[in-house]
Each structure stands twice: as C-alpha cells, then as structure tokens.
Structure 1
Amino acid sequence: MFLQKLKEITTLIFDVDGVLTNGDIIASDSGEFLRTFNIKDGYALQLAVKRGYLICIISGGKGIAMQKRFEGLGIQEIHLGVGDKVAVFNSLLAKHQISAEQVLYMGDDIPDLKVMQLVGLPTCPADAVPEIKALSQYISPYTGGKTAVRDIIEKVLRVQHQWFDEAPSAVDSGK
C-alpha cells in the first residue's frame, strides 16, 4: 500500500521549522531569526524540482533567508508566514489541477494536522509530536533538519525511477 502511494505522488509539500530545520531558532540582536538547513535535504529538493515534481513550502515561519534558500533550490511555490495552511493547500490544488491523493505532506506539529488529514500521503520526521505521528502513514527514522526530507524524497524518486542523477553538480544543494 505504501509503495503504491509513493508511485502516485506528483507533489511534495513541506513545513519548515521542525521538518527542514531541527526546530531551533536563533534570535539575533537585530531581531532576525536564524535557522540551519541540511545540505542533503537541499540536494534532494532541487533534484525533485529538476525531475518535474511540484515542491511546495507552507510555513508559519518567515524570513528573507528562508525565501532565498528555497528560491535557490528552484522551488517556486514558497508560502511563508502562513496562518491557514489548509487554505494555501486548497489554493495549490486548484492552481495546479492536482488531486489531494497525489500529494505527500511532511509536517511535525499541531499546525500541520488539518492539512495532513487532507493529503494522500501524510508523513513526518522521527521527532514529530505524537498527534502527527499517529496520523502519518510514514515516519522517517530521521529527525527534522537531519535528512528526514531527503529520506522521503529519495523514497518517492526511487520508486518512480527518478532518483539517480547522471551528471550531478556540486553546487546544486548549496544555493
């Protein structure tokens, strides 16, 4: 069942804090919030974009650095500072004419719960809260910010024979 669902995925949506980061935020004296991202997650994200998958970011967090990071990976659907993730999700379905069954979502905390109930394949990192783990059809053995995103993207791309890149560039994941 899980492998069949992976074969049907065309769209991957990710939360940021706790999924693409470890959930820690450093508050600078200037008022800027700093996060760290894993380079291996970045490689998988840009490869999925190159392979034609729709990659979306939906996060309550926001910041210029986050925006630039995702733009550098080729992600076009970047939604930061979002209060209503379900509204953004429904808008994406309509805009790209996709069904909820084609969507994989990775979240880690209560703000992700409602949208995860709507997607075809809800997933989470190993350190997600219990309510999200209970809902998830796949729990990565990796934690947020520590390649949980790479793990699930690699699974989707491998099942669909899209993983291996014949000519990878060393700069692709570091943008």
Structure 2
Amino acid sequence: MIAALDRMRQRRRWRQLGPRLDQLRLVVLDVDGVLTDGGLWYGPNGELFKRFDVRDGLGIRLLQQAGLEVALLSGGMGGATEARARHLGIRHCLVGVKDKPAALTRLLEQLDLEPASTAFVGDDFNDLAVRPCVGLLLAPADAAPPLRRQADAVLERCGGNGAVRELVERILGRRPQWRQLCAEGWRDRND
C-alpha cells in the first residue's frame, strides 16, 4: 500500500516538473551509482572495470541529437568513465572531482548556462551538495534515502539499469520529435 502511494506521488511530481524539463539545456550525471550500478571490479593488476547500460548510452546520444549538452561529474577515477565519455561524444567529463558544487559552477559559467536549465542525477550524500547549483536534482530508485527525500523526483529504475534512459524518455517524450523517433526509429550508430 505504501509503495503504491509513493509511486502515485512520484508520478504527480513528474507531471508537475514538465515545464522545468522543457527548460533543460544541460543534464549532468554522476557516474558510479547512476550510469553504473555502483559496483567496481578490479583485475589482477589493479585495473578498474565498470559496467555501463547500453540503453543509457543510446539515451545520451538522443539527448545530444536533440541539442542538449550532457556532462559527467564524478569523484571517482580509473579510466573507464573517460573511455565511455569518449565513446558517447561527451565533451565534459569531470572525474576525480573533490568539490562537486565548485566544478559544476565552473561548468555552468563555461557553458554560459543558468542553474534553472540544468538537471543533475546523483545517488549519494556527496551529490546533495550540488542542490543550489541546479534547477532539478534527480535520483535513481536505489539512491541513498536522504537524496531520494530531497530530490525533485525519483526515477523508477535503479542506477546502471536504465535510470538515465528513463530520464531521457521523460525529457524527450515532451518534445514533438519524440513521436517521429518512436514511429521511425533512430538512424545513427548504436551505442
């Protein structure tokens, strides 16, 4: 019963956020716990491996094609994030960031954007600090409870399992080209 009420509240929140989704020009994604499930795999020589969801990748490409900028902002390092960013054509891949609000503020200045045109998707305590820097703070379903409580909305999917793609569909689903995309498909390289 409680879960059903929570889902109804979240649906209502998403409807109310519609006009703010329309204003977005930049979507900033945390990596571990948003683009990945938060797990880290280490090889015998210390190399780091991360698993990324291919549907999230296509969603990012769809956002880019629609004219939105996408950036990655992560405290982690290791090379896998940078490789994924290159593969998807993400120009702003900020890794090893110790002060996320400061890095995000610099990025907004560089892109000449206002916080109201920016959404950030994060999953843990360190992502709460960006709240004053963005118009929308969003969280995957499995984010830390304090972030879920303070987020403008919570996605139905978990990090690394289509949460980013869900957000992309919520953003682009409000735009006229979405119907055409759904009817005719997407013609570009698959990611």
Shorter chain as normaliser: what TM range?
A: over 0.9
> Which residue in 2 is equivalent to 1:49?
64
Q: Larger Rg: 1 or 2?
A: 2
TM-score (norm 1): 0.93
Contact 1:122 1:136 in 2 (8 A): yes
Residue identity in the other structure for 1:109 = D
> Which residue in 1 is equivalent to 2:167?
152
Structure possessing the higher relative contact order (Cα contacts under 8 Å, 6 or more residues apart)? 1
Contact 1:117 1:135 in 2 (8 A): no
Residue identity in the other structure for 1:172 = N
CA distance in 1, matches of 2:143, 2:86: 26
Q: Does 1:34 align with 2:52?
A: no
CA distance in 2, matches of 1:150, 1:33: 24
1:171 Cα offset (Å): 3.6
Contact 2:36 2:159 in 1 (8 A): yes
CA distance in 1, matches of 2:74, 2:185: 32
Residue identity in the other structure for 2:119 = L
TM-score (norm 2): 0.85
1:130 Cα offset (Å): 0.9
1:170 Cα offset (Å): 6.8
Contact 1:73 1:172 in 2 (8 A): no
> Which residue in 2 is equivalent to 1:113?
128
CA distance in 2, matches of 1:59, 1:153: 20
- The partner residue of 2:186 within 153, 168, 173 is 168
1:62 Cα offset (Å): 1.6
- The partner residue of 1:9 within 24, 33, 50 is 24
